[in-house]
Amino acid sequence: MTISNIKETINSDIYNVWETVLAVDKYSLWRSDLRKAETVNQNQFIEYTKDGYATTFTITAIEPYKRWEFDMENGSLKGHWIGIFTSKGNKTQIDFTENVIPKKWFIKPFIKFHLKKQQAQFILDLKKEIEA
Could you tell me which residues come within 8 angstroms of residue 17 by beta carbon, excluding any fewer than 6 positions away? 10, 85, 92, 94, 126, 130
Query: What are φ and ψ of residue 92, in 5° steps?
Result: -135, 130
What predicted TM-score, i.e. pTM, was given to this entire model? 0.94
Percentage of the chain lying above the pLDDT 70 cut: 100
Q: Looking at the domain that runs over 2-21+56-131, which CATH code has it been given?
A: 3.30.530.20
| pLDDT band of 15, cuts 50, 70, 90 | very high
pLDDT (0 to 100) of residue 56? 98
Could you tell me which residues come within 8 angstroms of residue 132 by beta carbon, excluding any fewer than 6 positions away? none
Give the number of C-alpha atoms closer than 13 A to the C-alpha of residue 125, restricted to the C-beta side: 17
- Contact yes or no for 103/21 (Cβ under 8 A): no
